[in-house]
Structure 1
Amino acid sequence: MNIAKTLSHKITNHSRIFDATLDIYNNALAFIIEVIDTEFDNLDEMRTKSIVPAVERLIHATKSNPSPKYRAFNARFYKFPSYFRRSAIASAFGKVKSYRSNLRNWEEEKEIAFSEGKSLKRALQGCN
């Protein structure tokens, strides 16, 4: 007969070791969200698979792309790992696309509520 025992212990001395990495990643994510939001009209129809190289061309300098439109990314996030950059781009695109979709839906529902003669307060309550 096999007996298994599971112990659950929180690691107390290493619980904050990734905080600096998370701060850098979140700052890069915020930067990329701003880029995608600014360029959204050009990127809206793209899928996640094609968005990553398109945004990389906008923010990341390489030998074949020496002058990206948003050069500040390389200055602020020097030697940012490519897998983090690509992950941040995909995440940022999803967040911007979701935000814009939810905003568009809310505006449409608000217009419908106003056309039905509801007050602003009632229109906003009806959109929840």
Structure 2
Amino acid sequence: MRITSSYGVEIKKQNIPIRHTLRIYRSAVSYLIQVYAESWEGLSQIDNAKKRFNAAEHLVHETKKNHARYDFDLHFPKMPSYLRRAAIQHALGSVASYETRLDLWENGLLTGNRSWFRKIMPCRYFTVTSCTGRQNRRRTRRI
């Protein structure tokens, strides 16, 4: 039997810029979640994902041709476009998921049974998520 072990080691003073970037990114995502939750009525009517993303970006990012409704650029100046777009996509997906699940719960289609939750996050139940047979599931539970 082959044994593999791993452990985490913190590299001192090397991850400070990463922590700073993560702090900025997380605060941008939380700001954008509030913005998109307020304006979800208009965004939810757009069916195409690319058009919805563009409309969401136009709400917060100001250009020569576009005047933004929210002052995201003032709160996060000089944010790179790739990081801004990643934050917009993350926030938009979070709000869309929340609103969809809230709608399902209000209509009675969503219940608290475990089978529904297992379809969304199978890694919480099994160590190997690709197992489909009962024997494989039992084997992974024993480990």
Q: Do the structures match in fold with TM over 0.5?
A: yes
| Corresponding position: 1:24 with 2:15 | no
| Corresponding position: 1:93 with 2:92 | yes
In structure 2, relative to structure 1, the CA distance for the partners of 1:46 and 1:31 (3 Å cut) is farther
**1:54 positional shift:** 1.0
| Corresponding position: 1:35 with 2:50 | no
Question: What's the C-alpha RMSD, in Å, of the aligned pairs?
Answer: 2.3
2:50 is matched with 49
- Unaligned residue ranges in structure 1 (runs of 5+): 1-6, 113-125
- TM-score normalized with structure 1 length: 0.70
**1:99 positional shift:** 0.5
| Corresponding position: 1:102 with 2:86 | no
- TM-score normalized with structure 2 length: 0.64
In structure 2, relative to structure 1, the CA distance for the partners of 1:31 and 1:9 (3 Å cut) is closer
Q: Give the residue type in structure 1 aligned to 2:72.
A: F
Structure 1 vs Structure 2: percent identity of aligned residues?
33
**1:76 positional shift:** 0.7
- Unaligned residue ranges in structure 2 (runs of 5+): 1-5, 113-143
C-alpha separation in 2, matches of 1:46 and 1:29: 22
C-alpha separation in 1, matches of 2:58 and 2:52: 10
C-alpha separation in 2, matches of 1:34 and 1:89: 11
C-alpha separation in 1, matches of 2:95 and 2:37: 6
**1:61 positional shift:** 1.3
Higher relative contact order (CA 8 A, sep 6+): 1
**1:21 positional shift:** 0.7
Q: Is the 8 A contact 1:48 1:93 kept in 2?
A: no
